[in-house]
Structure 1
Amino acid sequence: MLRFIKRLVGRPIANRARRLAVEFHQQTKRAGAFQRELLLSRIARNADSAFGRDHHFGEIHSPEDFRRQVPIADYTRHEPYIDRVRNGDVSALFGPGTEVLMFAMTSGTTNRPKTIPVTREALNNYREGWLIWGIQAFDAHPDIIENGLRPILQIASDWRESYTPAGIPCGAITGLTASMQSRMIRTTYCMPPSGSRIKDVESKYYVALRYSIYKNLGTIIAANPSTILNMVRLGDRERETLIRDLHDGTLATRWSIPDDVRRELRFRTRIRRKDAARRLEQIVSETGRLLPKDYWPNLEFLSNWMGGTMRAYLRGYPEFFGEKPVRDVGLIASEGRMTIPIEDNTPAGVLDIRHHYFEFIPEEDADKPDPQTVEAVDLVEGKNYFVLLTTAGGLYRYNIFDLVRCVGFHGEAPIVEFLNKGAHFSSLTGEKLSEHQVITAVESAQRSVGLRLRSYLLLPIWGDPPSYGILVEASDLPEGEAADRFTAEVEEQLRTLNVEYAAKRDSLRLGPVRTIRIRDGAWGEFQKRRLARSGGTVEQYKQPHLIPDVEAIHAFPTVATIGS
């Protein structure tokens, strides 16, 4: 009966999602005109805001006018207006009648997190983007919805981490959308909404598994694949506790879960799942481990970022899941969704022209004081660009510093893939080494040597001459011939990928790459330090693979150095 009710309730949502997807694909056929209409509509709506008056929105009648009146901006330029909204002056950024529901918090470049306004329209855009993405992913894997939508595991964070002086919540937009789901649809999602208020990362992962491990899961949705890997590794490590909790209808007291959350979870927890516990015990008895490929054998696909730094984590999936397709969730940030992937196993997605107005700075022009921009329809396949956003959340020509590559077109809309954050470049002597080059070099070296690193980080090391050190945890790379070959292969790949690096090495202005083994557990400590310093949540966290800071090496406990 419950499955029938879910099908009955879910069918209208699926039909609406399909209508949105059809509209989106139609809009991509006239992406240029649609983008201009969207821009002028947004300008007109907020012309009476303080930002609109300061930038003469009333004189903007074309994209060319917009570029003349509004400079390219980062968060710092928007911050004074956002602060006024935080204090209750919505008219600083928005026209009459605009409702600000919350502020999405994300990591900033200073000690203060960025707060991005989430208006009613911005929330609708966010939810529509997910519906368009979701229905295409589910239709590509029909078994997930054939008899009613199968359970989904998605980990959300609290949307009420703090409040502004005007009493507006600040937190994660995922938590807000989870709280707004209908009660019946909410039963499809394994993670109870109250779980978003669990702050301790491992405790949250454990709760997610506690309420999903016994279900016939359809997919897992997380921005970062490291979130998924860390969760299932914890499940294997804590298999005895999980099995006991399922059998007894309990939730182990050792986990750091707020008392009010425990009370809300009590009804779900007290159900004894002895059959599920026996099934998991049998898996452990036969395999010696508790892995999702055994307890979720019918998982249809995994959903997470695939571009940029994320590729390194995807190599760890087969050990835990077997060979499962991966659907990129899209280039999406607190500032807005940028792409909607429509195929499995690719980081590329169609630009979300429906919800934001986009401009692009060609990569080679990024250092110019006032670079010329191009519109979405004018991108060139094979070229790299930095993305500018104009959104319903009050951001105008906002430089998010994401570097993307145009890999094709869908109608008039470009298909782009994320390469790296523009801030992640290092240039000790003019070599302009990019994070994308580092990822490519290390991935190639791992394949060549037959290694699988859980994570790594390239740091500049000052000396005479300066050089780069690639940090890996000791258990990932034992000393020996493989470690030496890995170091040499990374060096060779960087020379091939970056001619300036090769030139600086040949002229002895740079020393060779060294591999530095650090203490096991250092990556977890590094993540905690970065989140504590910059704000944001663990679900948003992106492990960098290049940091251009010569002091950063001093924060890591070194075990040994390979190479010279």
Structure 2
Amino acid sequence: MSLKRFLLVRLGRLLTYPVRKQLRQFEIACETPEAVQNALLFDILRKQADTQFGRDHKFGAITSVAEYRNNVPVAPYEYVSPYIEKVQTGDTRALLADPRVLMFALTSGTTASRKLIPVTDSYLAAYRRGWNMWGVKMYRDNRGRRIAMRPIVQLGGDPEEFRTPSGIPCGNLSGYTAMVQRRLIKWMYTVPHVTGKIKDAKARYYVALRFSIGRNVSQLMAANPSTLVQLARALDAEKESLLRDLHDGTLRADLDISPEVRDYLTPRAKKNPVRADELSAIAGKLGRLYPMDVWPTDATVINTWTGGSMGPYLRQLPQYYGEPPVHDLGLLASEGRFTIPLSGGTASGVLDIWSHYFEFIPEGEIDSPRPTVLGAHELREGGSYFILPTTSYGLYRYHISDLVRVTGFQGKTPLVEFLGKGHRFANLTGEKLSEYHVTKAMDAVAQRINQPITAYSVSPVWDDKQPYYAIFLEEPDVANEPALKHFLAEFDKQLGVENMEYAAKRESGRLGSLRAMVIAAGTWAKWDRDRLSQTGGSPEQYKHPCLIGDLKFRETMAVLREVV
């Protein structure tokens, strides 16, 4: 070990000592989840009692969990959005006890409008604490790979897409945290934070690779493994240009990058002719250049989501990255970090009982008018539940629609893994398409195009090269194929209007274009009758699903032909 490496490792251990101590305390707290959670809930209620939301829901008078549940309904974003709108205009006390809002984290919602999640100092403190504990455990599990204090590849988004009327930035949370990191920590991340402002997907991947291939990378990190697949394909496709830029210290002039971002990147694009020649020799010998050819598998770790619908992408990683350890990032979103995986090779993480108060509704009761509601200490192993977080930054009994399964316990605190967005969502590569998006897009297109549709459902279809969505239509509705193709193009485009993440995934090539699956006349009527007989209920109350999130649905249908 070189002296520089030795000093960096010692510095890393010094910096992480408080986190290692914190992790030990957290593991002790996991032995008493009910007491820890109740104390946290009443601390949140006490601090938020004088906000407008707190007064409207009588926080100051609540003395029990039962009273909290009586005063505050289980509700989605739309319930709290009127208060968040006031915060956007500068009325912070409408929802928050914190004196300032650092930013609004943007996320695609279950409706056409985007969700704005207030990021406060308390939000950021909890978020960083969870990340730090996760990171310390991940490093500890991979000591033999000597990844400590070595560079990390991580792509972030734009931390400021726009500002609220009161001037608060709205954008990507990971982009914001990358921007405000301490200088030493920024050095460890190979991809400059301004890369998040590059809108063109090809340029964004190229810049990330340009600043990474010359460094001794230890980790590759992306929430969705589809990003890692795209990054690997871009590396091989652009290897000649990348190696030339690395050799000369340049950045391709034809990339779609704004002048401001290019001005920031250009002087930082250092040349490394020795490394460029090494990689050129490898590419010439192998006829390719994959991440495992640039960063050896025995000295790297992949950090990404491994639960839910991520399986098809995870199966593609070994052909590009080899088989380094894969660590799940945990259940996290713009709304916050909810779990902390404390071991590799699993999608399960322990509930972050220090940061959020959690409630759960059993999967089968989610549509019940009076569902059973359970605390974290009341869950059973093997059970599937919808998770309802209460946070210190304005989300109360928040129905985020995340379905989780309990896989075990850390002490007496549940370990949970993410299953999916429930029966009203589909999510191939991060687009989180909802039935609301689908029906709203259909309504909009139907007003413009006279396309006959007796009944339909949209469903995701997996394809190793490029997954896509399909709309299942009956034969009599598709007699005019040229008109159908026009309808498909317009419907595909409108889905992107209703769901910006769908549009982004289409633009980047991570999703293919919408296709029509033609089925026989009368298929849907029979399918609905069969489904009704299985699920029970009256025909008058039955609603045909316009979105079916099952990746295997295509295999269950007798498709006569496809129209692209």
TM range (shorter): 0.7 to 0.9
Q: How does 1:105-124 map to 2 (within 5 A)?
A: 105-124=106-125
Asked whether 1:344 is paired with 2:344, we answer yes
Asked whether 1:104 is paired with 2:105, we answer yes
Return the offset for 1:214. 2.1
The CA distance in 2 between the partners of 1:543 and 1:362, in whole Å, is 32
Q: How does 1:213-228 map to 2 (within 5 A)?
A: 213-228=213-228
| Residue correspondences, number | 487
Q: How does 1:410-425 map to 2 (within 5 A)?
A: 410-424=410-424
SS at 2:402 equivalent: strand
Cα deviations by residue, 1:404-424 (Å, 9 ceiling, x for unpaired): 111111111101111110243
Return the offset for 1:268. 1.7
Taking a change above 3 Å as real, the CA distance of residues 526 and 156 of structure 1, as seen in their structure-2 partners, is: farther
Return the offset for 1:13. 2.6
Q: How does 1:338-487 map to 2 (within 5 A)?
A: 338-424=338-424, 471=461
Task: Assess if the C-alpha contact under 8 Å between 1:458 and 1:468 holds in 2.
Answer: no
Task: Assess if the C-alpha contact under 8 Å between 1:103 and 1:169 holds in 2.
Answer: yes
The residue aligned with 1:133 is 134
The residue aligned with 2:529 is none
Taking a change above 3 Å as real, the CA distance of residues 261 and 4 of structure 1, as seen in their structure-2 partners, is: farther
Cα deviations by residue, 1:317-365 (Å, 9 ceiling, x for unpaired): 1100112221000010111111111121211111111100000001111
SS at 1:399 equivalent: coil
The residue aligned with 1:12 is 14
Structure 1: runs of 5+ lacking an equivalent:
426-434, 440-452, 478-508, 510-524, 553-560
Task: Assess if the C-alpha contact under 8 Å between 1:105 and 1:536 holds in 2.
Answer: no
The residue aligned with 2:267 is 267
Asked whether 1:549 is paired with 2:540, we answer no
Of 38, 41, 44, the match for 1:39: 41
Task: Assess if the C-alpha contact under 8 Å between 1:332 and 1:338 holds in 2.
Answer: yes
Return the offset for 1:468. 8.0
Quote the RMSD (CA, aligned, Å): 3.7
Task: Assess if the C-alpha contact under 8 Å between 2:456 and 2:546 holds in 1.
Answer: no
The CA distance in 2 between the partners of 1:247 and 1:370, in whole Å, is 65
Task: Assess if the C-alpha contact under 8 Å between 1:150 and 1:188 holds in 2.
Answer: yes
Cα deviations by residue, 1:362-400 (Å, 9 ceiling, x for unpaired): 111111123231000100111110000101221000000
The CA distance in 2 between the partners of 1:13 and 1:113, in whole Å, is 38
Q: How does 1:524-535 map to 2 (within 5 A)?
A: 533-535=498-500
Return the offset for 1:254. 1.6
Cα deviations by residue, 1:285-325 (Å, 9 ceiling, x for unpaired): 11110011111114421000011111110000110011222
Q: Mean Cα displacement is larger for which, 385-394 or 212-221?
A: 212-221
The CA distance in 1 between the partners of 2:318 and 2:367, in whole Å, is 41
The CA distance in 1 between the partners of 2:155 and 2:64, in whole Å, is 41
Task: Assess if the C-alpha contact under 8 Å between 1:232 and 1:291 holds in 2.
Answer: yes
Taking a change above 3 Å as real, the CA distance of residues 526 and 266 of structure 1, as seen in their structure-2 partners, is: farther
Taking a change above 3 Å as real, the CA distance of residues 356 and 266 of structure 1, as seen in their structure-2 partners, is: same
Asked whether 1:152 is paired with 2:152, we answer yes
The residue aligned with 2:281 is 282
The CA distance in 2 between the partners of 1:29 and 1:52, in whole Å, is 31
Task: Assess if the C-alpha contact under 8 Å between 1:458 and 1:471 holds in 2.
Answer: no
The residue aligned with 1:432 is none
Cα deviations by residue, 1:464-488 (Å, 9 ceiling, x for unpaired): 99788764559679xxxxxxxxxxx
Please give the TM-score of this superposition, normalised by the length of structure 1. Answer: 0.78
Cα deviations by residue, 1:118-138 (Å, 9 ceiling, x for unpaired): 110001111111001111001
Task: Assess if the C-alpha contact under 8 Å between 2:33 and 2:377 holds in 1.
Answer: yes
Return the offset for 1:64. 1.4
Task: Assess if the C-alpha contact under 8 Å between 2:359 and 2:373 holds in 1.
Answer: yes
Give the % identical residues: 42
Task: Assess if the C-alpha contact under 8 Å between 2:110 and 2:434 holds in 1.
Answer: no
Task: Assess if the C-alpha contact under 8 Å between 1:32 and 1:412 holds in 2.
Answer: no
Please give the TM-score of this superposition, normalised by the length of structure 2. Answer: 0.78
Cα deviations by residue, 1:207-258 (Å, 9 ceiling, x for unpaired): 1111111222111111000011101111101111111111111100121112
Taking a change above 3 Å as real, the CA distance of residues 534 and 469 of structure 1, as seen in their structure-2 partners, is: closer
Task: Assess if the C-alpha contact under 8 Å between 1:307 and 1:347 holds in 2.
Answer: yes
Cα deviations by residue, 1:503-522 (Å, 9 ceiling, x for unpaired): xxxxxx9xxxxxxxxxxxxx
Q: How does 1:178-193 map to 2 (within 5 A)?
A: 178-193=178-193
Structure 2: runs of 5+ lacking an equivalent:
443-451, 468-473, 475-489, 515-543, 550-557
The amino acid that maps onto 1:285 is G
The CA distance in 1 between the partners of 2:181 and 2:361, in whole Å, is 38
Return the offset for 1:7. 3.8
SS at 2:109 equivalent: coil
Taking a change above 3 Å as real, the CA distance of residues 470 and 327 of structure 1, as seen in their structure-2 partners, is: closer
The CA distance in 1 between the partners of 2:316 and 2:491, in whole Å, is 20
The amino acid that maps onto 1:125 is A
Cα deviations by residue, 1:420-470 (Å, 9 ceiling, x for unpaired): 102436xxxxxxxxx69xx9xxxxxxxxxxxxx9x9x99999999978876
Of 11, 20, 23, the match for 1:21: 23
Task: Assess if the C-alpha contact under 8 Å between 1:377 and 1:414 holds in 2.
Answer: yes
SS at 1:16 equivalent: helix
Taking a change above 3 Å as real, the CA distance of residues 136 and 80 of structure 1, as seen in their structure-2 partners, is: same
Q: How does 1:57-76 map to 2 (within 5 A)?
A: 57-76=59-78
The CA distance in 2 between the partners of 1:167 and 1:368, in whole Å, is 41
Taking a change above 3 Å as real, the CA distance of residues 474 and 141 of structure 1, as seen in their structure-2 partners, is: closer
Task: Assess if the C-alpha contact under 8 Å between 1:458 and 1:470 holds in 2.
Answer: no
Task: Assess if the C-alpha contact under 8 Å between 1:403 and 1:422 holds in 2.
Answer: yes
Q: Mean Cα displacement is larger for which, 1-10 or 410-419?
A: 1-10
